[in-house]
Structure 1
Amino acid sequence: MGVEAVTTDVPPKLSTIEASKRLAAWTAVDRHVKEEHKVIGIGSGSTVPYVVERIVAQGREANKDRVFIPTGFQSKELIVKGNLLLGDVDQYPRIDVTLDGADEVDKDLNAIKGGGACHLREKVLAEAADTFIVVADYRKNSEVLGTTYTAGIPIEVAPFAYAKVLQNLHAIGSPNAALRMAQKKAGPVVSDNGNFIIDAPFPEEDMKDPYTLLTKLKMLTGVVEVGLFCHMAKAAYFGNQDGSVTVRWLDGRVEHVSKRASPLVPPEDSTDDEPSPMPDGPLEHSIGNSKGAPAVNGNGDKA
């Protein structure tokens, strides 16, 4: 039986930023969570509730045979509250598609993640997925990492080793690296894995080559995982203030999904007050890059 048609109730009034997050999430789900996808990774962060919301809207029939793998406590709660089947990466080491947020994404789809201290589990689910998709609002779309997310690279470390890791970070170019301290409680932030988090800002020169920096940081004894996600995402969806979506693809294409094609916007000639369901046909879009990019269809694949 096919996937039920997605219908949309009148959405609550959101701030511009929240509306942008929802727009990115809904568009990504409509394109990448298909009938054949049975094992789905659910990431963490402020955009992810809209991802789950849109998946739930696909209907019980579409979701009855699916298993959802969380990256942490937040995503686990979203899955349970959405009456979706909860699974574990131990049971499903291969995932069809994982959707997750990001703190910042550069022009090559490298990302900073870990502002919520879940980047170890997020990276496991991203690597396990056949397709890894990032969803975010327009503020996260950068040319170079560290431009808008200035707190530094999140680094999960074994508690026993944190002081030595900090010393090493200071020596290799991050003099302001510091242990992340908890809010409203004394002491450091502790990850779901029982580890500490260090935030390590690096100069733009290093951030222009995040893969080399990632390799250097992973070699430090005591480091469990680094919040640099390099060469992993297939696409990143950014909701914009004007109701459009910018999609960056791994091959360098930049796609612009117009407001007219948004899943949140009814047709201009509609007399109804309620948003209409997603159209059955391909989304309207234009694509541009310096090399003359090929057309893509509504699934984001090359035509």
Structure 2
Amino acid sequence: MANFYSILLTLVTIAAGLVWLYDAKFKKPTRLTRIAEEEQRLQQQLDDEARERLAPQGRVAEFAQSVFPILFVILIVRSFFYEPFRIPSASMMPTMLAGDFILVQKYSYSIRDPLFRTELFATGTPERGEIAVFKYPVNPQVDFIKRIIGTPGDRIIYRNKTLYLEPACVKQSAECPQLQVIERDVRPQDEVYFSRSTPLVRYREQIGTVEHDILIDPTIAPRTAYFYQQAGTAPDEWIVPEGHYFFMGDNRDNSEDSRYWGFVPQDNLVGRATFIWMSFEMNRDASSWLPQWVPTAVRWNRLGSVE
């Protein structure tokens, strides 16, 4: 459940806050009165240790008081500013690898409540070329991460592994943009990426203002027959509806994306990927005595901003 931790953190924070509030409003005055009466009887002020022995705070209330401020700060940061995500698959290679841990900027596009994800107010507009986390439209309980290829009104064609883009016509413009081929250049590879035993070809591509690398598997034929079919368009063509976005993975032949299941509603957007803060290699042999989830190495060179 993609939103499970947000819901759990919210409920635990509220519970801790209510326990602390109840103790402060109903229990603490009784303790203070008892201490005041004892100090008056003894005609001297008690130190903190003596006060605690005389009128101790309950363990549950003490624990709630100590953890609530920490939980509250974490909840605010995670819900409205930055949330960590782990890259689980190879669909975004070479930009992101399985085992990368990223920070997603939650306020990039809108501010939403952490429980029901209701939009409180918009803060920005998704742009072509950005990498974003979103709720998978087929199963919103799952988070996906891909690159934004098309924004509302764009016409997109993916034919013979070549990407074509016709940006939406802006009403104020005197002339509408024409269909353009997204040019790509072969990149020299100091590191070769594979799909099983097949080496992938690395290209440099530009979407919007963002330049990034993509991977193509030359052994895989175009999968047009499996593409999402939009009414009124060719089998390998899509026109992005209003309020929706078209996403693709950088590992073009190994990515389940909008080509296969359609468009992402704006309400499904979680935030923009901004930074890789940790990256682990997970190449442990099956014969190892350590569990498979234990990392084999840290890829320090991958830490940094995301393009």
TM-score normalised by the chain length of structure 1: 0.21
Which structure has the greater CA radius of gyration?
2
- Comparing both structures, which one devotes a greater share of its residues to strand? 2
